[in-house]
Structure 1
């Protein structure tokens, strides 16, 4: 029998946070590519766009006029996916089950500069954004069961405006992905007496092969179970469960880390890297709040170049996620590039 080689032989890896599996097929990375080739997303752009509905002083699609803001701007989403006062469904039965869904959605403009994405902002501006995330979390967590902070960057990820911005949705229910993470972290805590992601961080630091960047408060890795080619898991090294738990030194370190991660992304294929990024923090009614460790997921779709993307289709949609490039190779490539913005974690 040929000895197993993780760089050449198909195998499955378990996602510790969800309990689900991903198929790794490293030998497929050797095949010729004949898929879609799109346009690269260039970096930079004008600092103000009179046609942009997120720039200062401009009118949004909902009819409101933006103030002449100088830092972050938070406002209610003009077309929210959740609303606070919607009626409950009329029950149902064991077959067709529905449940109420109430909440609210807000938009967070990162800065007034239309052309500066997160890696282009200076450390002070990123720190101001982190403080906004924390303030919003404190306010909304007092009213709702879960607060989701996220960003879709780039047209490839369905972003509706090139002006750098993110969103925050608060809901009176715990979304499915978070319910899975709550269950798995609680189970680990019961069995081992410590935080799952605390142990992951310790093991990843000892191994080093999947580490992308590290500082005193944060660790960025391509996780062992990554589904996306250059996925990154950002783990708080301090025992914190929510963004608003972060100390001032941890927030300063996070500002540096966010610039370092996104700067590496932009340098990898010399383009403005698209991604979906979001924070996962303890729900209000967690099964085990002490089991939680604050973390963020980065899911960029680019695979082989600035114009070749990974599609989650076919087997990925119908069976389970599958990747060709191993997490270890992806981490080495991210680790070896110099961030496009020169940032250091």
Structure 2
């Protein structure tokens, strides 16, 4: 059998977390590109915006007034996708049309009182405040008997459907385990039952040996482009020690998580000199009162940008009809991100001017 160079030839990669396959076509990355390559900087937002419903002291659309907060701030979403007191009811029409009600809680977290910042522009101590709030919210929500899964996430940028640039994220806590974490749970349980070890700890050991897809790391966390990455600059943050959720992190590990989130988001912004859009979220063990020795805390970053600040990847054609596909290999993406500065490009530009 002839050897195949997977860095140049079409091939499929298995997503260990979902059990699904991805088509990789690295030869397509060599085709000529005559599209946009411009950089787009920030929009010069003020530190405080009197019209912003997330800024301190301002009135929200639902009529409530924000606290005059000076660090982080959390409130129940005025237009929640989930409602806490929804009764659990199942229906099935003609043995085919099945529905089940979904009680839950949706909260909004403001990362900073400053309207003009993003996570990438915050100090590690400020991001640590966000991590601490994530921890406290997860603890509170996970203790509610009707809540079996807590999803903490951030949509950054208009490209990801974020309608307000004020730095913020969300928490959706619900009765049933959602689809994507459910896929990961099945894969993790299957691997743990066979090997007596966790899937992600074994996977991280492989990545640390190969060093091909590592972007950055510290004592407690590693950021890498996963072997099965779908999005051009997708990242996965993994803990070097086994943790099912935020509650088992030490004080230093919380700081290290804040630090690596800060470093990753700075590299993203530096890639195209823009406020790099993404959807990011923590995947933690379900809160269904079952033991989950198979689960490792991890964080996904799914950014849409492909070749510049305005050229995005979309799921179209083959991807909608068959499955995900990418051109640039995860190894190439990791190398590009790894070699970027960890100092935000706006600060470097200021030092050059000075």
TM-score, normalising length from structure 1? 0.95
**Which is further off, 89-98 or 169-178?**
89-98
- The aligned counterpart of 2:319 is 316
The 3-state SS of whatever aligns with 2:91 is coil
Preserved CA contact (<8 Å) 2:150 2:174? yes
Deviations 1:275-300 (CA, angstroms, capped at 9, x unpaired) = 00000000023876001110000001
CA distance in 2, matches of 1:292, 1:159: 30
Q: Is structure 2 residue 48 aligned with structure 1 residue 48?
A: yes
Preserved CA contact (<8 Å) 2:40 2:272? no
Preserved CA contact (<8 Å) 2:39 2:308? no
- The aligned counterpart of 1:186 is 189
Deviations 1:176-213 (CA, angstroms, capped at 9, x unpaired) = 11111111001111111111100111110110010001
> What is the count of residue pairs matched by the alignment?
343
- The aligned counterpart of 1:155 is 158
Equivalent of 2:249 in 229, 246, 249:
246
Preserved CA contact (<8 Å) 2:245 2:284? yes
**Which is further off, 208-217 or 284-293?**
284-293
Preserved CA contact (<8 Å) 1:189 1:195? yes
- The aligned counterpart of 1:331 is 334
1:1-345 mapped onto 2 (5 Å cutoff): 3-33=3-33, 40=40, 42=42, 45-89=45-89, 91-93=91-93, 94-143=95-144, 144-285=147-288, 289-341=292-344
Q: 1:86: how far off? A: 2.2
Q: 1:257: how far off? A: 0.6
Q: 1:37 to 1:210 in 2, by over 3 A?
A: closer
Preserved CA contact (<8 Å) 1:43 1:272? no
- The aligned counterpart of 2:350 is none
The 3-state SS of whatever aligns with 2:125 is helix
Q: 1:131: how far off? A: 0.4
Preserved CA contact (<8 Å) 1:72 1:110? yes
CA distance in 2, matches of 1:33, 1:55: 41
Structure 1, unaligned runs of 5 or more: none
Preserved CA contact (<8 Å) 1:105 1:168? yes
Preserved CA contact (<8 Å) 1:38 1:308? no
Q: 1:31: how far off? A: 2.2
The CA RMSD measured in Å over matched residues stands at 1.9
CA distance in 2, matches of 1:265, 1:29: 20
Q: 1:45: how far off? A: 2.6
Q: 1:142: how far off? A: 0.8
Q: 1:37: how far off? A: 8.4
CA distance in 1, matches of 2:322, 2:189: 26
Preserved CA contact (<8 Å) 1:70 1:112? yes
Structure 2, unaligned runs of 5 or more: 348-354
CA distance in 2, matches of 1:28, 1:218: 33
Q: 1:119: how far off? A: 1.1
Q: 1:42: how far off? A: 2.0
Preserved CA contact (<8 Å) 1:186 1:288? no
Preserved CA contact (<8 Å) 2:10 2:25? yes
The 3-state SS of whatever aligns with 1:79 is coil
Deviations 1:1-31 (CA, angstroms, capped at 9, x unpaired) = 7631112111110100110111101111122
